[in-house]
Amino acid sequence: MSIETGTNIPERDLLNMTVARVGMTLLRRPVPMYKLCFQLHFCNVSQTSVRLLGRKWTMRDSSGQTRIIEAGEVFNQEPVLVPGAVFSYAGQQDFTHPPVSMQVRFFGVDQMNEPFITPPLVFPRYCFTLPRR
């Protein structure tokens, strides 16, 4: 399933999604790299079971570059969430310039095999601040 621009996949708010934990580090290598690590939590707040099939990231850095990454599966899984079920996963994104915004949308099907895409989960601005030393 693809969520390319122009498709008619309906946006449905079936999941309560939260950014549970975020940390950013600057790795000083020959070329600096910013590594943003995060943990996300999902709770199926609908009355229907859903299967998550993939995700679409939109990320922007301080140079003005925007990256869009669409991928199948969610942390190497296609989790099925029955009503009330919770799913969590951790991941990371790497940047060559300081990140300034990041959001993710998840797409999947419900128990009637109807496709959906979630509203975007926007990472709060504080996520892009390096810890003080």
Give residue 6's pLDDT.
46
Question: Considering the entire predicted model, what is its pTM?
Answer: 0.87
User: What domains, with CATH codes, occur in the chain?
Assistant: 15-110 (2.60.40.1470)
Predicted confidence band of residue 5 (pLDDT cuts 50, 70, 90): very low
Q: Environment class of residue 33 by beta-carbon count within 10 Å: exposed (0-12), middle (13-18) or buried (19+)? A: middle
Predicted confidence band of residue 115 (pLDDT cuts 50, 70, 90): very high
Give residue 2's pLDDT.
45
Predicted confidence band of residue 129 (pLDDT cuts 50, 70, 90): confident
Share of residues in the chain with pLDDT > 90 (%) = 77
Give residue 1's pLDDT.
44
